[in-house]
Amino acid sequence: MLVVSTEYSQILAANVAKGLDCPLGGVKFSRFPDGEQYLRLSATDRHMVIVGSIPEADALIQILLLVDACEGAEITLVVPYMGYARQDKRFHEGEPLSARVIARVLSTGVSRVLTVNIHDRAVLSHFHVPVRDASLAGEIGRYLEKSEFSSPLVLAPDEGAAAFAGQVAAVCGWETDHLEKTRISGNEVRMAPRNLEAKGRDVVIVDDIISTGGTLATAVAMLKEQGARSVSSVCVHGVLAEGAYARLLSGGVREVACSDTLERACSRYSAAGAVVDGIEGCW
């Protein structure tokens, strides 16, 4: 078995190779004068593991080129962050089902696919090959346990994320709840924990993705108003678009932490263990 990665997932791929106790293959990446991408593998094996997140279109092209370069091998494709997965419905007439498009493309030429906390598990049904989704709830829980919190409360930003937050909280043995939006007037919305009080507590908001940080910024401001002692946030995929990281910290968030599905300076815990388990245990 040989692990290779796109340029976007090098650190995670190295840790996955270590966990699988197999070599990490070298890949040379360059571009043609017109901007098109080129790559070349330094070695191949009968079983190739390709690791590549998709934060942008060039990352998808690198995966497709790697898959083709591994032609003839049994290929396990690991997509730690699957971009385009959030457009999983036709919200308006004339829109594509982007998540389905990407799932179909990623199914071509590979034996199986492993994703990590995909935005909606329903997207998995669009793959044409066996697919699994690994969850980092355990990793987040173990990461949080190392911090010193006073009366910690794990909050999901909405009801949809409540089960995930609950799994995280269960690891730490902490209380959990989800935020509920109440419309006070035409332009005024209140966000507060549905059942519990935030007052005097160290609150940790757990979500799958922080993209613009808009959801979180609103929640933080409201929780502070409600007397939370501190508000931290941990997500799986730190997309951090539009200056989200700086905006959140300047808005009073104690810490913004994410995994290495997207390699960021605030990647504080790794998806490698869950990916290794997924590769070793599922097939």
List of residues contacting ligand R5P (CB under 6 A): 157, 161, 207-215
Residue tagged 């935030």 (tokens)? 198
Q: Which CB atom, from 2 or from 239, has the smaller least distance to ligand R5P?
A: 239
Give Cβ neighbours of residue 116 (< 8 Å, ≥ 6 apart).
78, 79, 80, 81, 133, 134, 135, 136, 236, 259, 261, 271, 274, 275
- Whole-angstrom CA distances from 157 to 6, 91, 223, 228, 230 are 32, 22, 11, 15, 16
> What tokens were used for 140?
């987040």
Q: Answer whether 82's CB lies under 8 Å from 55's CB.
A: no
Q: Is 181 a catalytic residue?
A: yes
Q: How far from chain centre, in Å, is Cα 250?
A: 23
Q: How far is the CB of 120 from ligand R5P (least distance, A)?
A: 8
Q: How far is the CB of 121 from ligand R5P (least distance, A)?
A: 13
Q: Which CB atom, from 198 or from 240, has the smaller least distance to ligand R5P?
A: 240
Q: Which CB atom, from 214 or from 273, has the smaller least distance to ligand R5P?
A: 214
User: Among the options 18, 89, 146, 181, which is catalytic?
Assistant: 181
**Position 279: which residue type?**
I
Q: How far is the CB of 113 from ligand R5P (least distance, A)?
A: 21
Q: How far is the CB of 260 from ligand R5P (least distance, A)?
A: 18
Largest CA distance in the chain: 62
Q: Which CB atom, from 80 or from 157, has the smaller least distance to ligand R5P?
A: 157
Q: Which residues are catalytic?
A: 181
